[in-house]
Structure 1
Amino acid sequence: MSIDPILLLFPPGWIYTTGGPNLALPLLKGFLEVKGIETYLIDLNIGLSNYFNLKISDDEIANACEIPSLENLNKPYYISQEQMSGIAKPFNAIWDIQLGFHYEGCSFSSSDDIKRFSELSSPFDNFYEEKLLASVEKLNPSIIGISGCAPAQLLSTFQIIRLLRRKGYSGKIILGGNLITRLEKSFIKDWVFELIDGAVLFQGEVTLTSIYFALQEGRELDSVPNLIWKRNGKIVENKIEYLTPKDFGRPMYENLSFNSYWGINYIPVLGSRGCYYGKCTFCAIPYAYGNNGFLGNDNPISVYDDMVSGYELTGINKYKFMEEALHPAILKKLSDKILSENFDCEFEGYARFDNFWKDENFLKRVAKAGLRKVYLGLELITSGKRGLLNKSDSDITLEMLKKFSDAGIKTHIFTLFGYPGTGIDEAIKTIEFVLKHQHLIDTLDIFPFYYAKHTTVPFVIPIIDSAKDWAIEYDYNPMMEGVLRNEEVTILCERLEDVIWNERPEWLHPLYRMCSPWSTVHEFV
């Protein structure tokens, strides 16, 4: 029996100041299509931006960044933000460029709030009617999959699901994504499974394929891995299986509106699944990959082919590697392939302060291949207390920043203040360090420590609030003298951010980041 295609949706609520789509849907489409399953993608998040004509133009960004004062950067940013606020205001709601849409009084951490507020009308209803329902009617998908990565996407996800059911869609609705995996058992609610047919934990490629063929063959879903579903009125959890490198699929970018994303557009790619280190005590990002946060490296030649096929489809030769840390083996072989084929490209990615970056020949080669910027987790300047974070990386930060600069590779620095056992002194010294060596740094983030679900952090105990059952970050109580409290960490970070806003506003401003890695715009500062 032949059944209709799969439709994959990326819901509103994702940050707009990125230059490309989330990679989840292209990865799923590539895997499913190879299995013979016709698959379509709709990025509803960027679709909303296009529907309301909200995009900040490349020219506006370039002009603002020529002299990147806070005033110049804020002007185009807040024109769009005011438009969004005006759209949301009649609904007693807030729509933020970076934080998504929510009603006043609605907490993304509360399943009760999501249930209640998702029943309300929204400013996006006409868009859903005109764009989404028209596509559903045309394609008649047997399965609609929705991938959620951020808490701000929960509200729109359930508004979309309620609309689909209200309009008579009777096919399977399956939810997945990093966020659903992070929520896992707390996501199991009777009202949720009255609306949906399943929730996927960890990677969804095999799960969606198995659901599709089970439907085609008229089988139950008992053998489908990584699935939470309702059987005979009872919600059950199937066995967990992790994806292996031999099963990694190739992303397919068809159906996505490239060149409509904000800023200089790039194509997202992936060289590894997860973080090859994965032992930082504060970090839960790799958790959703499964297998202790790392599934393995991909084939560098296949990754190169992904880059070329993306360019041939879109005309874009800029790429962002989405794994948590670029792996040296992948990067070396990929760079060799790029150079041997004379493929003109630029790319950026996340990295650790690992010793292989000290190799000047390696740096020159990857820079020649197109590496333009790395995003580095410094967290704190080297001190006796930095070891508490269990980063196990190099302690020669300044030398490595100089080597990146000499190779023509820009750097972004992540800082993290208030981690239990560290304090105000370490935070201030870190800010003093980055300002002293500001000529080596392109952008910077200041993050307050929060207790992430699926981590274990010493010296504090998380506060588990039953009213915040969908929280993935917790407040906490110190368990020893000298550990900063939540509110103290917040104040510390706000004050240090004020210092950076005054000294180097472009470091923190999202507008500057929308173009800074790429050579097709002015070299600003």
Structure 2
Amino acid sequence: MIRQADFPVSLVFPPQGHFTQPYLALPCLKAHLASEGFGDVELIDASIEAYDRFLSADYLAAAAERVDRRLALSSFEGREQLAFEDLEAFRAAAESAVSAASLIDEVEDAKAVVRGEAFWDADRYVPAVRTLYHGLRLVSASWFPSQLTPHNFTMRYANDHSDQVLAATLDEAENPFIEHFRATLLPRLVARRPRVVGLSVIYGSQLIPALTLGRMIKQALPDCHVTAGGGFLAYIGEKLMGAPGIGACLDSIIFHEGEAPLAALCHALREQPPGTAVDLSEIGSLLWFDRRDGAAHPVRNAPAHPIKLDEAPIPDFDGLPFEKYFSPEVVIPYDINRGCYYGECAFCTLPTVIGPGYRTRSAAHIVDHVLALKERYGVRHFNFITDCMPPGMIADLPTELIEREADIRWWCDARVEPKAYDREGAERLYESGCRKLLFGFETATPRLLKMMQKGQSLKSTVQVAENCAAAGISVTFYAMVGFPSETREEARATLDFLRQHAGTVREVSLQTFHIDEVALTYRDPERFGIRILDEPGADLQLYHDYESESGMTQNEAAEMFDEMMSGLRASLPLFSGDNIFWFMQKSHYFLHLARDVKPDAFERACAERTARRAAGSADPSLRVVDSLELVELPFRYGEVIETLGHPLARAVRPDFLTGRFVAGARDEAAAVLGSIAPRPSVLAYAGGGATEFVGLTADGARVLEAIAEAGDYGALRASLQDQGEAALAKLDAFATELNRLGLLRVPTADPSELSPAPGTPRRSSATPSNAHSPRP
């Protein structure tokens, strides 16, 4: 018999997940394993650990040197044209050359801002978040063409081709997690020698990093059983385990809920000496490699019975690094139910893959756990995980929270239920601590709502939103564009509807429609007038292209997405300018609401900030920001950005939602968009997250340098009085634009923001020798 003390378990959340709050799956698994007698279970959020390391001064300095070696800006000089396939490389090289020195200097301060009291000051928060985003661009450039953002991780390898996925796990030049795991996580695991490592793969962006780690663990710890589970593997797990070579990365996959199967797996392995090939056929919901004859044969077991939620232990977050999440206060996730009580939406897959079946906890049980978590971790902010809160719970949970004086703040997804979200119900929700609700709105076209089987009307949706808004709850709508047969006119009607209800609806999460193999739209395509297009060789394919008998094509839907986002950014204060950073960071806007800031007040502050930044002027006291960097380019940055922003060019990258490549997209984009001719220009970057990258003409850069040499804009303008009114007016307009872009500023009380004496911005040519040297 193997003693319990000899059975350590490590549960890992692999990169990439969002960096603002912990994820729930592993704390639930840890708590259940403890109830089954497994006391040596550690939690590792490898995603937040990677973000914290990548966004450090030391790592960014190494990344800048790596860009110089792999993607030197000087390599683009002397070219007769910039081909489409080189645009992203040129952009990465140019942005790295001009921003690396600033980012290395400022990234640690930026992290401190989003984790500390300065978070609450928008004029410090937004530049800090921008610095983190730009830092990840530098990290990405060093592993080009791979891209890591706060929301995604993609490589040039397709997620739906197993041979490419496995190749990605071995690519030392482009997979940043090989080096990262080798330097950080793997040595810890080797020292601990866990008997089981569990990998939680919720998103497609985690697949390559998870399999990379699994491969490394199996090489370093051959006696360790590596299992995986999570939402994404519920879709593709069976295909994955049937792919040649996957046995080098995994030993098993758990489908759907992991508590009972993982505990059963640990029990079975604990009874055997380490490294023994074991019969695991009695463990429910497990797909495993039977290695008893020396080969690896995938075996799919029968489903397991789900646990009873009201008997589940309190999630155990011990060991997670709360201090590393990019938020000043931690928001704890907690699942109030599993599955979806409605389960009829034609495009939705969650009722099928999150299960088995729909179950909910009682309100009393939820509040028991919430109060215990509040006491244990000293938190009062919660993200209730639910596909949609059932009508009874909309009344029962707030009542329980109020009666027991829970004094928490919370947010969750919701479904339009007019009777539950009446005026009284919404006020009760607010009193219980609810500050934000996200509703599945989808479209303003009744015909499409019927096709989607939403079971809701526009009238009821608006009434629910208005009731919630009147109570002080911030309302977000999920919307989509490109559902089969939708026309441009119908999409614009949805945009018009959303703009008309700005003030009731604070945020819109807009997505382009996609088809996966579990949804009704895939299972019954004729019903929706579409033809599914399969991609040869895509053995892990989940998402599919399609052709529709009527309405927009997929490319037209992508163009309409841009049009709708432009309209929303013009109409919703939270989407205007760089205020959209509040929307993009999960929980960050909610944290302000949790301080009982009213949505109207926050929107007003956003609108005022946008107006203030957009105003600009040609104030004579304008001076060049001290942190300004300039780099000379052989091609125009703005032209490159415009081309890369075209829907055809965006389709070349893996889709944001699906992670898959569109077949033939690169060839089509190259043929239509063509190449770019040489046009010498200058790229400007103001440190401190003050602005985005700014492309200038050579003349524009010389004006900036002239202002710096003169001391301020007024001095330069006075020296040019003999140029005539027309020339001065043109100069004033340019200075106003530079002020708006953040390259010129009026002196403030903080003298460190501006050059104390006349000088010139740092300018470098496209040479690696000086592009990243420290600023004086």
Both proteins in one fold, TM over 0.5: yes
CA contact (8 A) 2:218 2:226 kept: no
CA contact (8 A) 1:8 1:40 kept: yes
Per-residue CA deviation, residues 42-93 of structure 1 (Å, 9 max, x unaligned), is: 0000111222346461556533379xxxxx95x4333112212222323324
Partner of 2:231: 178
Residue 110 (structure 1) aligned with residue 180 (structure 2): no
Residue 266 (structure 1) aligned with residue 350 (structure 2): no
CA contact (8 A) 1:197 1:229 kept: yes
CA contact (8 A) 2:14 2:210 kept: yes
Taking the aligned partners of 2:419 and 2:184, their CA distance within structure 1 comes to 48
Q: Which consecutive unaligned segments of at least 5 residues does structure 2 have? A: 57-110, 273-277, 522-527, 604-776
- Note the 1:20-419 alignment, pairs <5 A: 20-38=21-39, 39-53=41-55, 55=111, 57-58=114-115, 61-64=119-122, 73=126, 75-103=127-155, 105-121=156-172, 122-125=175-178, 127-187=180-240, 188-218=242-272, 220-231=279-290, 232=293, 233=295, 234-245=297-308, 248-263=312-327, 264-291=329-356, 294-381=357-444, 383-395=446-458, 396-419=460-483
CA contact (8 A) 1:445 1:507 kept: no
Q: Give the aligned residue type for 2:347.
A: F
Shift of 1:174: 0.3
Shift of 1:126: 5.0
Taking the aligned partners of 2:249 and 2:467, their CA distance within structure 1 comes to 54
CA contact (8 A) 1:193 1:229 kept: no
Cα separation, partners in 2 of 1:174 and 1:95, compared to 1, 3 Å: same
Q: Give the aligned residue type for 1:177.
A: G
Partner of 1:453: 517
Taking the aligned partners of 1:330 and 1:137, their CA distance within structure 2 comes to 46
CA contact (8 A) 1:21 1:268 kept: yes
User: Which deviates more, 175-184 or 424-433?
Assistant: 424-433
Q: So what's the TM-score if we normalise by structure 2? A: 0.63
Shift of 1:394: 4.4
Shift of 1:141: 1.4
Q: So what's the TM-score if we normalise by structure 1? A: 0.91
Q: Give the aligned residue type for 1:519.
A: A
Superposed CA RMSD = 2.3
Partner of 2:639: none
* Partner residue of 1:520 out of 595, 604, 629: 595
Shift of 1:299: 2.5
Taking the aligned partners of 1:521 and 1:136, their CA distance within structure 2 comes to 43
Taking the aligned partners of 2:307 and 2:271, their CA distance within structure 1 comes to 26
Q: Give the aligned residue type for 1:389.
A: M
Q: Which has the larger radius of gyration?
A: 2
Residue 497 (structure 1) aligned with residue 579 (structure 2): no
Cα separation, partners in 2 of 1:109 and 1:190, compared to 1, 3 Å: closer
Taking the aligned partners of 2:367 and 2:243, their CA distance within structure 1 comes to 43
Count of residues paired in the alignment:
512
CA contact (8 A) 1:81 1:97 kept: yes
CA contact (8 A) 1:413 1:443 kept: yes
Q: Give the aligned residue type for 1:168.
A: L
Shift of 1:321: 1.1
Taking the aligned partners of 2:28 and 2:317, their CA distance within structure 1 comes to 9
Per-residue CA deviation, residues 339-361 of structure 1 (Å, 9 max, x unaligned), is: 12212110000001112334322
Taking the aligned partners of 1:97 and 1:367, their CA distance within structure 2 comes to 34
Shift of 1:238: 0.7
Q: Give the aligned residue type for 2:595.
A: T
Q: Give the aligned residue type for 1:417.
A: V
The share of aligned pairs that are identical, in percent, is: 20
Cα separation, partners in 2 of 1:363 and 1:444, compared to 1, 3 Å: same
Taking the aligned partners of 1:454 and 1:227, their CA distance within structure 2 comes to 20
CA contact (8 A) 2:332 2:381 kept: yes
Q: Secondary structure of the residue that 2:324 maps to in structure 1?
A: coil
* Partner residue of 1:463 out of 519, 528, 533: 533
Shift of 1:27: 1.2
Cα separation, partners in 2 of 1:250 and 1:295, compared to 1, 3 Å: farther
Shift of 1:442: 1.7
* Bigger helix share: 2
CA contact (8 A) 1:412 1:443 kept: yes
